[in-house]
Structure 1
Amino acid sequence: MSGFAVRPEPVQVPGLVHMHTGKVRDLYRNAAGELVMVASDRTSVFDWVLPTEIPDKGRILTRLSLWWFDQFADLIPHHVISTDVPEGAPDDWFGRTMVCRPLRMVPVECVARGYLAGSGLAEYEEHGTAGGVALPDGLVSGSELPDPIFTPATKAAVGEHDENITYADAASMVGGDTASLLRRTTLAVYSRGRDIARDCGILLADTKFEFGFDGEQLVLADEVLTPDCSRLWPAEQWAPGKPQPSFDKQFIRDWLTSPAVGWDRGGELAPPPLPTRIVEQSRARYVEAYERLTGTVWS
């Protein structure tokens, strides 16, 4: 069992129709048919949305995504029209809001991996592959792959697991031409992001992108290369063969599954609230990732 530990009530704003409450973002449609995405401070791990929020998280994710969209502008267009806050919305929406053009979304999570971790590591240890892609012998947790690989997954609803699929599975879902385009674009954007992050002292281990079509044009959507959709490791502490320190949610996962907490990730009980020190340390990791990548001080 999983889902929301405490399900939030959607904010009602005149002129906006609430469409969906996700793990982190709330989605609305305005009178012009545009999508209004609002990033909350919610955090999800192990398919649970936790009862404790991380202050400023939604603003950090939004600002970092906007920064990354600019870095990729010559590779692929993005879905953001503006960051204007709709009239009548709460003050808390400032800095969290992206007004986006509606797209025909591709029903595939486009995952790129440059290092071995997570479900890719688990598959490799069992089959010698990740996402069905054969990898060399002798790799360990945290190893850099010879070349980045595309390992798609199916999108899951809140409380359900994304499911890794092969490239052939993705092609059967969206067609061969579209699958090829997704793979090329995913690896191009990942490679650009990896190089930028590395220059900032961060290793981009893996990430997932979401794409949609505006007519025949492929468009980059949702969030991009944030600590919520990526594994980000401090380069100076990288040491293959063991779990890596990270700027992402692994810090919270490790606390929840530690013997001191004793929460059963496979059970039916919701995760416990996060203590103040874990909240503060988590926020500090998000801020540090933002500041390292953008070269600006968070304020």
Structure 2
Amino acid sequence: MLKPFPRLLLLATAFLGVSVHAAQFLEAPRVQAALEQGLAAERGKGVGRNPWLAIRLYCDAATMGSPEGFMRIGRVLATSPGLPRKPELANAYLAMAASLGSEDALRYYDARHGNAELQGDCDALTGTGYTESGEAAFNMAAYLSKQPIEQQRIARLIHKLAPKYQVDASFVLAIALAESNLNPAAVSPKNAQGVMQLIPATQERFGVRQPFDPERNIMGAMAYIRWLERRFAGDWRLVAAAYNAGEGAVDRHAGIPPYAETQQYVRRVMRFAGMAAKETMRFN
């Protein structure tokens, strides 16, 4: 019996900054995208095998409330070759996952060891082996080469349409990967729809009448991103933050809002776009 579970459930609520409703978060396209991309890094599918990058991506999923994200962090720490063994830390993440309803977590839990105390996010966990330019580099082209034909077609469509809207194709593609992993049928619990996860209000604002048509969805998103770029004087970090949390939240906080999900979203988009190494990420 794992006595720390009730305490870890309380920690989970603090860690996530939201109410814990596991099924809802598991259905969210952003969570699914982070899990799929983390698995590619864990197994070396397209991107080179990189356990630290896998942990970072799984942490992004966990921050959005995913028990699977917590479980996979623990799994990597418990089983990944080349990482220093940290069974107590692995157990802590696995116990967190189990407390949120993950049955798979118990397969990797090592009852011979206790549970480490989690610090509230993954930054301390990855700090000794993770850098934006090295350990966590994400080769977007290599990753896309291993995706289904339809996703590759959508990626090419983004590159084709970007010049018309005067936006950076790599940045838009990074948004699409973070939002839905290029899934044109994706629907979030908040009814964001399509490849670029446009909510109905944004669809109406930018004239998108067929949100599940990839081209129409991408065109609307590019118009929005172009508008945000002008609004925030070309600061791509603020554009990404506004795409995630809304331009009003960026205005209220005079920068990237202090929401864990938004901060990790910006970091992920900048990494995917190849922009993370060009400037230091500074969050309010």
Scaled to the shorter chain, the TM-score interval is: under 0.3
Q: Which has the higher strand share?
A: 1
Instruction: Compute the TM-score of the two structures, normalised by the length of structure 2.
Output: 0.28
Instruction: Compute the TM-score of the two structures, normalised by the length of structure 1.
Output: 0.27
* RCO comparison, higher one (Cα < 8 Å, 6+): 1
